[in-house]
Amino acid sequence: MNSDLHPGREHAGAAIRCAALSRSFGGTGLVLDRLSFQVEPGEFVALLGPSGSGKSSLLRLTAGLDNPDSGQLVVEAASGAVLRGFVFQEATLMPWRTVLRNTTLPLELAGWARVDAESRAAEELRRMRLTEFAARYPHELSGGMKMRASVARALTTQPNLLLLDEPFAALDEPTRHGLQMQLREIWLALGMTVLFVTHSVTEAVFLADRIIVLSHRPARLILDHMVVLPERRDAELRTALEYIDQVRRIAAAMPVSGEAS
């Protein structure tokens, strides 16, 4: 549906269909309890929930890094292959490689020639405004720059599904806000499906078009809400009444901490 709203975007997104998805782990017990929902191609969905609610587990299942115990999880793309990008909570760069060589990693693993991989990666670095740091090592970068490099890396394969696991939580507020705006710009330009895990209501409302709220463990769907806010979101929106109103509404639906629902 979103692709109707945004004709001509670069990559069509992948769709996610999830039915009665359950997952439990040895030490912690049942984490996801018969979750069912669907994500349409090109949607920007925030997965919101309290800490430990299993939203990261759900993300990992979507990424194919884990398998459900029962239920169904299908990810498909109209164009054929599903290409995933993942941005972790920590930047997770390889310290022995330069920023450029970190960014080319997904392409190297896919068998791209070095020259091609580097030029493709350089484009993403340009998009993330890291070109002048391409030859530096991760330890020379600030937290925010490392995160931008991580995003650049996730984008090199031109994914149709971008997964992010609370990537900005460890950054200071100005950097976080800057990266949130930049992420939304990237989504608007490229059109892939985005699944963004967070425990911050303000972040979810600012970034997403749709918010899925999960309960405490074992996670069940509490709320599936379409965000009513303008398409282009800038710094001024954070103090606008309509934004605060949406935040209040979502916050009211959030489970109280410690309470199982």
Residue nearer to another protein on the CB measure, 171 or 205: 171
Q: Name residues contacting another protein, limited to 25-44 (CB under 8 A).
A: none
Q: How far is the CB of 87 from another protein (least distance, A)?
A: 10
Of 3, 90, 123, 240, the one binding another protein by CB under 8 A: 90
Of 138, 144, 167, 191, the one binding another protein by CB under 8 A: 138
> Does residue number 76 form part of the binding site for another protein (CB under 8 A)?
no
Q: How far is the CB of 137 from another protein (least distance, A)?
A: 5
Residue nearer to another protein on the CB measure, 5 or 94: 94
Of 42, 54, 68, 106, the one binding another protein by CB under 8 A: 106
Of 96, 173, 252, 258, the one binding another protein by CB under 8 A: 96
Q: How far is the CB of 258 from another protein (least distance, A)?
A: 28
- The residue among 93, 103, 85, 81 whose CA lies nearest residue 195 is 85
Binding site for another protein (CB under 8 A): 60, 63-65, 84, 86, 88-90, 92, 94-96, 105-106, 108-110, 137-139, 157
